[in-house]
Chain A
Amino acid sequence: MQINDFVRRMQNPGGARRMSRSVHVDLILFLLLFLLCGFGLAVLYSASGEDLFYVKRQLMFMITGFVLMLSVAQVSVRSMHRWAFVVYGLGLVALLAVLIFGVGAKGAQRWLDLGFTRLQPAEIMKVCVPLMISAYLSKRFIPPTFKHVCWSVVMILIPTLLIVRQPDLGTAILVFASGFLVLFLAGLGKRYILGSGLISLAAIPVMWLFVLRDYQKQRILTLLSPEDDTLGSGWNIIQSKTAIGSGGFNGKGWTEGTQSQLSFLPESHTDFIIAVLAEEFGLIGVMALCTLYLLIIGRCLFIAANAQSQFGRLLAGSLGSIFFIYIFVNMGMVSGILPVVGAPLPMISYGGTAILTLFIGFGMLMAISREPKQMRTQF
């Protein structure tokens, strides 16, 4: 169907546009994502030591993702709105299941083994939470009242804390941020924003003493001075900075990065993949990627601004902005301006659940972009 779409668009732009409208596809977003995935696969090929194993699997995820995205795009926004509670509830159940039956790696329990595949429910919450909060707030006063803010925060904190328990601080922060973004876009008052900022500051010592685990504290200390522990947790960040820095302006060339090819760079095909890109494609590559990302985010926010319903607006706006937060957290941590938390680089890092979640999000955006005009005077 996609290919047909393309062919038709080429032959007859007007007809293609009509076609894309009728099948709920945002062609610009589609093309940008297509480019991003291609770029991602190329970097992944190099990052996995020119081994096709991960590339093939990632390609499968992406194909599945595109299918999933186009399927979600066909769902009506009203149905999403209606089913938001159910989806959110299922997400919470999955998170609880992880804590009970989850399988883990490296001391954390993050996976749910479904037999045929392994699922990371925390990743899915990145979509479920904004969906839920958007659904909740869009039916209420704008800007949200104190009561609604409180309920929203509760709905955000439940999954967040469950994810902290796994423990997966990175994803927890991102899930929290995705929910908070909905509040922000819904017009959360300045007092609340300032107040939550102050609460966050006050929470730092509490977190340090009671919530953060030793390895997490270590990561924060490492950020402050990686050179103190060059063989321990400082190793990762020193190696990733070395990879990025030695890439220079033009980069060392595709598959020519010594830091990544000689395994000095840890997690090179997952969380630290931006270092591979920066080493091999240089600053040019980084800027090209950022441009691509900004175009995608811009398109998302454009869709949001033009959405017909408040629910669509909030959901599209939060999905677009959270996308940037993923990028910022990942690129910031790898380049050493943020502590190391487990956060993949969207569409580039290897990882099935993350990719599928992103595509579901973009599917929702496409659905919103094709939302039929509501009657303003519905009531």
Chain B
Amino acid sequence: MIEEEAFSDPARERQIFVGRVLLASFLILVFTAILIARYFDLQINQHQDFVTQSDNNRVHLRPNPPARGVIYDRNGEILADNQSVSNLTIIRERSGDLDELIEKISALVPLSETDIKRFYKRLKRRRPFEQTPLKFNLSEQEQAVLAVNEHRLDGIKVSARLSRFYPKRDLFTHVVGYVGRINEREISLIDPIQYSGTDSIGKVGLEKFYEDSLLGNVGSEHVETNARGRVMRVLDQVDPDSGSDLVLHVDSKLQKIAFDAFAGERGALVAMDIKTGGVLAMVSAPSYDANLFVSGISQKNYSRLLNSDDNPMFNRAIQGQYPPGSTVKPLFGLIALDSKTVSPSTKIDDPGYFKMEGIERPWRDHNSERGGHGKDVDLAEAIIESCDVFFYKMGIKTGIDILSSKSMAFGLGAKTGIDLPGEARGIMPSRTWKKENRGASWFNGDTINMSIGQGFMLSTPLQLAVMTSRIASKGKRVEPRLVKSIGGVDLSPSENIQLPDIDPQYWDYIHQSMRGVVHSAKGTATSINRGLSYTMAGKTGTAQVVSIRADEDYDKSKLNKRQWDHALFIAFAPFEDPQIAIGLIVENGEHGSSAAAPIARAVIDGYLNTESDVNIASDLALQGLNIYANQ
């Protein structure tokens, strides 16, 4: 070692070293220049791009969803409300491996396969940095578990949001409807901005019909978030406008009375306020709990509803089309009187059947086995006792053209225009209708069938209620409405257009006849007049479900209950100053008088006997509303 050192030459060593240091210094300057050039390029040349990128990183436009309008009944009772619920959501951009994350989450809160499947579906159509819901309606315990573990579950967020709640469960489902998750088809129809903070939309009923009013206007806020997606501060915001509240004409108490009166039978009822057209009650039984649909109904529940023989999802009140049967007799009588084809003094003999020239088969009267209604039956008796033969003859004489065109004015055969989606139009047959729909000419036989509300004729319970209202008001064009006010603004009541001028004495004649149905000894609905504190007018009806051959008798013992006749009833009251009109059907209820009329009685009792109380109640409710609004 010492030897080697001895050969070293300090001067040369130093010379070489200084040369190398100079070379190193040069290289250092060159590489420093490279660094500065790089930073110059990023900070000066590409500055604007990176400013944009940095702002995109931290500033997010977040929708501020509006609260959906609340739906109240006429007395201020809440039918559709918003409740705060907690949902588990994931921001894809913040999470790592999704499968792994979901696995971790499912160790903490139960996740069904459907939850996960739907989550991935939603994930496909999310916007960047959007919270995609994984599980709805977390329980308090689940929220607590997630809060504790949130730090190790990157990208998850438990977000509280308002969810629809229907406190009356199944009572108003066919009126109010429900909201549900926006589906693929709807997403292409809606304004993506308006719905940016909302994941549900009105699917049926008023929720669908008044979707635009109920939704409100979305607000927005620019928020600064950190890398974990936590909002650090709100930079600016536009507050949302809550959806408009709806107040209905419907009275929950009356609705309950009507619903309970069906006592498990299938059927539908519509009760209307004759003065305003406001729908006081609308029942379609059976019903189902609207809350099932709010955050996505389970497959099991859905197929149970869908496959039920009772078809609970079918809104019979506006979609059910039934032969109106004898409930059209007052109207046809009125039209015949007005057309002078019959007069109050017209009398016929009823042997229990009606035979038409050239046709072998007779048309029976429904009480043909008792030998008919006898001699000298006039129109009033024909209505009170529901004599078919009178109407067969009257129908032939009046003719299809007059019956058809004048019936339309009473709301048959056309949509009533009620504020609900999916209304059926019913059928008021005519010559052209038959040509177009059956490709055949109209025969007198068709007129005979139709003159007792059978044959081609179909109407919805709502149409029957509208017809009854128009008869009760002596020709006012009463139009059905569910919603009384939107956002505190009363909707203008339907204009009181007078229907074609009809001689007042004919109105009185028909009203008296309908009164007789309930109040005269021979009336078909006389059984319901016991203890009645007011006067009621009505008409029973029976609609065949299966056609009975003419040479056969209707024998219910031979038929399955599903094939029994439908029972119908229309009514209005009080007779002197009609306020409420009702149209109703009990499916397979057999007789209007026994199955349907008592339901009408219960509802009208409920309405008239509590009328004064209702006024007080509605004043109270309005005060309550104000308190609610102030909260």
Contacts and interface: CB of A to CB of B under 8 A. Distances in A.
Contact of B57 (A248, A264, A283): A264
Interface stretch (A26-34, A111-119, A138-146, A361-369): A138-146
B58 A314 contact: no
A241 B42 contact: yes
Given A139-B5, A140-B4, A278 B28 contact: no
B521 interface: no
Interface stretch (A62-70, A161-169, A328-336): A328-336
A290 B29 CA distance: 11
Interface stretch (B48-56, B238-246, B248-256, B328-336): B48-56
Nearest to B225: A262
A242 B21 contact: no
Contacts of A143: 16
B223 to A, nearest CB: 11
B432 interface: no
B8 A141 contact: yes
A248 B51 contact: yes
Interface stretch (A97-105, A181-189, A199-207, A208-216): A181-189
B39 A142 contact: no
Nearest to A139: B5
Contacts of A263: 226-228
Interface in B8-27: 8-10, 12-14, 16-21, 24-25
B58 to A, nearest CB: 5
Interface in A233-259: 239, 241-249, 258-259
B18 A305 contact: yes
Given A317-B24, A321-B28, A335 B39 contact: yes
A341 B227 CA distance: 23
Contacts of B346: none
B302 interface: no
Interface string B213-252: 0000000000011111000100000000000000000000
Contacts, number: 151
A310 B8 contact: yes
A164 B492 CA distance: 84
Nearest to A266: B227
Nearest to B54: A246
B620 to A, nearest CB: 53
A142 B8 contact: yes
B6 A245 contact: no
A249 B57 contact: no
A327 B39 CA distance: 14
Contacts of A301: 21, 24-25
A245 B57 CA distance: 14
Size class of the contact patch on chain B: 35 or more
A327 B10 CA distance: 32
A324 interface: yes
B43 interface: yes
Query: Which interface residue of A181, A184, A249, A258 has the most chain B CB atoms within 10 A?
Result: A258
A297 interface: yes
A245 B28 contact: no
A10 interface: no
B304 interface: no
Contacts of A298: 25
Contacts of A258: 54, 57-58, 224
Contact of B17 (A246, A247, A310): A310
B126 interface: no
B35 to A, nearest CB: 5
A55 to B, nearest CB: 21
Nearest to A324: B28
A53 interface: no
Contact of A185 (B1, B8, B24): B24
A248 B41 CA distance: 10
A294 interface: yes
A141 B7 contact: yes
Nearest to B28: A324
A198 interface: no
Nearest to B29: A294
A231 interface: yes
A303 to B, nearest CB: 11
Contacts of A262: 57-58, 224-227, 232
What's the dominant secondary structure at chain A's contact region? Answer: helix
A143 B7 CA distance: 12
Contacts of A278: 39, 42-43
A103 B10 CA distance: 46
Given A244-B39, A248-B43, A142 B13 contact: yes
Given A246-B54, A310-B8, A335-B42, A286 B36 contact: yes
A297 B28 contact: yes
Given A139-B4, A317-B24, A245 B17 contact: no
Nearest to B25: A301
Size class of the contact patch on chain A: 35 or more
A263 B229 CA distance: 10
Given A187-B20, A263-B228, A313-B14, A331 B58 contact: no
Contacts of A317: 17, 20-21, 24
Contacts of A106: none
A84 interface: no
B28 A243 contact: no
Nearest to A275: B42
Interface in A281-304: 282-283, 286-287, 290, 294, 297-298, 301, 304
Contacts of A379: 5-6
A305 B16 CA distance: 11
Contacts of A90: none
A60 interface: no
Contact of A245 (B25, B46, B93): B46
B57 A287 contact: no
A181 B50 CA distance: 37
A184 B20 contact: yes
Query: Which interface residue of B4, B19, B35, B40 has the most chain A CB atoms within 10 A?
Result: B35
B17 A244 contact: no
A376 interface: yes
B17 A185 contact: yes
B625 to A, nearest CB: 45
A245 B21 contact: no
A337 interface: yes
B187 to A, nearest CB: 26
Nearest to B20: A185
B534 interface: no
Interface in A331-348: 331-332, 335-337
A243 B47 CA distance: 10
A337 B43 contact: no
Contacts of A184: 20, 24
Contacts of A243: 54
Contacts of B139: none
B38 interface: yes
A283 B43 contact: yes
A186 B43 contact: no
B31 interface: yes
B224 A245 contact: no
A45 B162 CA distance: 42
A332 B249 CA distance: 74
Contacts of B226: 262-264
A239 B40 CA distance: 17
A141 B4 contact: yes
Nearest to B56: A242
Given A186-B20, A187-B19, 15 more contacts: A140-B8, A142-B12, A142-B13, A143-B16, A241-B50, A262-B58, A264-B226, A290-B32, A290-B36, A294-B28, A301-B24, A305-B17, A332-B35, A335-B42, A379-B6
5 contacts: A186-B17, A187-B17, A248-B43, A310-B17, A328-B32
Interface of B: 1, 4-10, 12-14, 16-21, 24-25, 28-29, 31-32, 34-36, 38-40, 42-44, 46-47, 49-51, 53-54, 57-58, 93, 224-228, 232
- Pairs A-B, 9 closest by C-beta atoms: A245-B50, A246-B54, A187-B16, A262-B226, A263-B227, A245-B42, A246-B50, A283-B43, A264-B227
